[in-house]
């Protein structure tokens, strides 16, 4: 059973661009401040997704 966590209101259905939205705290999710990510590469684009809230950034 996952505990509730506070988010900062970022829309997790949008892929944010790192150049426009750099990390507020290096290596942490801007939305929920979590440190674990799922990473994938598709069509030469590195995509990082937070394992807790699902926020995505293309790096």
Answer yes or no: is pLDDT of 5 > 70: yes
Name the pairing type of β-strands 56-58 and 37-42: unpaired
**Residue ranges covered by each domain of the chain:** 8-34
Longest CA–CA span in the chain (Å) reads 36
41 Cα distance to chain centroid: 15
Residue 4 has a pLDDT of 80
Answer yes or no: is pLDDT of 59 > 60: yes
Answer yes or no: is pLDDT of 10 > 60: yes
The sign of the CA dihedral 17, 52, 36, 25 is: positive
Q: List the one residue out of 49, 45, 28 whose CA is nearest residue 37.
A: 49
- pLDDT, tens digit, 9 for 90 and up, residues 12-48: 999 999 999 999 999 999 999 999 999 999 899 999 9
The torsion angles phi and psi of 7, rounded to 5 degrees, stand at -120, 165
């Amino acid at each position: 059973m996952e505990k509730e966590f506070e988010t900062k209101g970022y829309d997790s259905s949008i892929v944010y661009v790192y150049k426009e939205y750099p990390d507020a705290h290096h290596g942490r999710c801007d939305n929920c401040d979590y440190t674990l990510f799922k990473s994938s590469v598709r069509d030469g684009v590195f995509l990082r997704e937070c394992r807790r809230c699902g926020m995505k950034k293309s790096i």
